[in-house]
Amino acid sequence: MTRLKADARHSVRFSLNGKLVEGEAEPRMLLSDFLRHQLGATGTHVGCEHGVCGACTIIVDGMLTRSCLTLAAQVEGCELRTVEGLAPSADRLGVLQQAFRRNHALQCGFCTAGILMSLDHYLAGNPTPTEAEIRDLLSGHICRCTGYTPIIQAALEAAAELASSKKETSDA
Amino acid sequence: MKPPAFDYLRAESIGDVLDGLAQQGGDARVLAGGQSLMAMLNMRLAKPKLLIDIMRLEELRKIQRKGDTVIIGAGVRQADLLAWPDLVDALPLVALALPWVGHMQTRSRGTICGSLAHADPSAEMPLTLVALGGEVLLRNAKRRRRVAAKDFFAGMMLTARSDDELIEGISLPVIKGSRAAFREVARRHGDFAIVACAAMKTSTGVRLAVGGVADVPTARDWPRLEGSALDDALNAFAYELGARDDVHATARYRRDLVRMIGRDLIGEVLQ
């Protein structure tokens, strides 16, 4: 049993995009704030802070997770993936990110980090999604700029591209 | 939108949880998936002094089919239950209702029992528990008890759970050969229901359960009714639920939904 006192800061350690990270947090500190303020990982955005808008969505141990509905203390020892982990290298975009760029699937970009994480996670398990499935997934996010249509287009394009690239390598 | 200060206890045994609840009582809250409780904390609608995280307890993560019942532990996430291979066969109503709970991004973390503990009157899992006539398995440091679904929900966001009790799990009956139907009307898929209805064929006729209208999900059993007798029964039920106007819908619209969806679903399960 571990009991962390309310009025003290406690060490929190986990893996962030494959790298071990460590910081200090009071028990009440939200994971979204820990990522942004303690670790400087500001790619994860904070919108509504009650789990409705989806901007702060990340992946914790393979589960889509609202980081604003999660305490930093809860993810001790877990594996986290955030939007910073999507690009294959610092100067290149991933397939999904490229599709977003081509299709103008973002304008202000505030919701984009969360939507990218949801889509990245979903497409990994469902390589040939229908438009209806993408729409259902996106019901967990709010975008006030795009009207969603270009996001759906980008998701379907990225899925097709990922599926065809996988086919080529698996035939070998 | 930041939580108030609290101690955080990462439980490593059920004993840790029960001790924490015994010592701190009403000032302690059990944290499972956090999809309701964390929002309540962020909005400071809940101000516990102690949060007890139960999600590292493997013994609470089980879904067990024992004869004609299914036991679902307090740590079972909504996504875990949706992925359970026996779900459609054993609990067809749950299979229909679960996709309406929140969004994929919240079902991945939120638990079945957490939704019941929160007891939102328009939530799908409380409605399903009442429709199936399930039981809630409660436990404190001294004893265990089982509470029937209809006695568990005491009012809007109020339950029969005592401050020192953990919801250890729920027990749902496997009803052989029962046809089930579920439908919900909300502004957006994944939002809380304006009206949600579940219907089941029973040995004596049909059961209709309604959420989102009264302060608690409410079930009603009828013999096999048809035509105007069914319409009259549905109309009386719709009024008895005491619908109120709010920003989402008028009371009359809610009664209309109960009458229309109720008739559709009853037709579906009795055909």
Cα gap A67→A63, rounded to integer Å = 11
Q: Show the tokens assigned to A22.
A: 């460590």
In a domain, B136, yes or no: yes
Residues B236 and B186 in one domain: yes
Residues B22 and B67 in one domain: no
* CA A57 to centroid of chain Cα atoms: 5
Residue of B13, B31, B190 with shortest CB distance to A139: B190
Structural domains in chain B (count): 3
In a domain, A172, yes or no: no
CB contacts of B3 in chain A (<8 Å) are 28, 30, 71
pLDDT tens per residue, range B243-270: 999 999 999 999 999 999 999 999 999 9
pLDDT tens per residue, range B114-125: 999 999 999 999
Residue B142 scores a pLDDT above 90: yes
Residue of A1, A26, A118 with shortest CB distance to B10: A1
Look up the CATH number of the domain holding residue B249. 3.30.390.50
Cα gap A26→A7, rounded to integer Å = 7
Cα–Cα nearest to B122, from B88, B105, B146, B97: B97
In a domain, A4, yes or no: no
In a domain, A22, yes or no: yes
Residues B39 and B102 in one domain: no
pLDDT band for position B271 (cuts 50, 70, 90): confident
Residues A77 and A113 in one domain: no
Averaged pLDDT for residues A117-146: 97
Residue A167 scores a pLDDT above 80: no
Q: What is the pLDDT of residue B177?
A: 74
Q: Which residue of B has its CA nearest to A137?
A: B104
Task: With CB atoms and an 8 Å threshold, state whether A27 touches B31.
Answer: no
In a domain, B1, yes or no: no
pLDDT band for position A64 (cuts 50, 70, 90): very high
Cα dihedral A68→A71→A72→A73 (10° resolution)? -170
Structural domain range at position B79 = 58-173
Residues B63 and B165 in one domain: yes
Residue A169 scores a pLDDT above 60: no
Is residue B17 less than 8 Å (CB to CB) from chain A? no
- Amino acid sitting at position A88: P
CB contacts of A66 in chain B (<8 Å) are 35, 105-106, 109
Is residue A14 less than 8 Å (CB to CB) from chain B? no
pLDDT band for position A170 (cuts 50, 70, 90): low
Averaged pLDDT for residues B62-69: 96
**Residue B26 CB coordination number (10 Å):** 11
Domain termination residue (choose one: B137, B154, B173):
B173
Task: With CB atoms and an 8 Å threshold, state whether B7 touches A5.
Answer: yes
Residue of A28, A49, A137 with shortest CB distance to B104: A137
Order across the sheet with B180-185: list the strands.
B180-185, B195-201, B205-211, B218-223
Q: What is the pLDDT of residue A168?
A: 56
Cα–Cα nearest to B183, from B96, B245, B92: B96
Residues A80 and A105 in one domain: no
- ipTM confidence score: 0.94
Cα gap A158→A103, rounded to integer Å = 11
Residues A116 and A135 in one domain: yes
Task: With CB atoms and an 8 Å threshold, state whether A139 touches B4.
Answer: no
Residue A165, H or E segment? helix A149-171
Structural domain range at position A122 = 95-167
Residue A171 scores a pLDDT above 80: no
Q: Which residues touch B51 (CB under 8 Å, ≥6 apart)?
A: A27, A71, B6, B7, B8, B9, B28, B29, B30, B31
pLDDT tens per residue, range B79-114: 999 999 999 999 999 999 999 999 999 999 999 999
CB contacts of A71 in chain B (<8 Å) are 3, 8, 31, 34, 38, 51
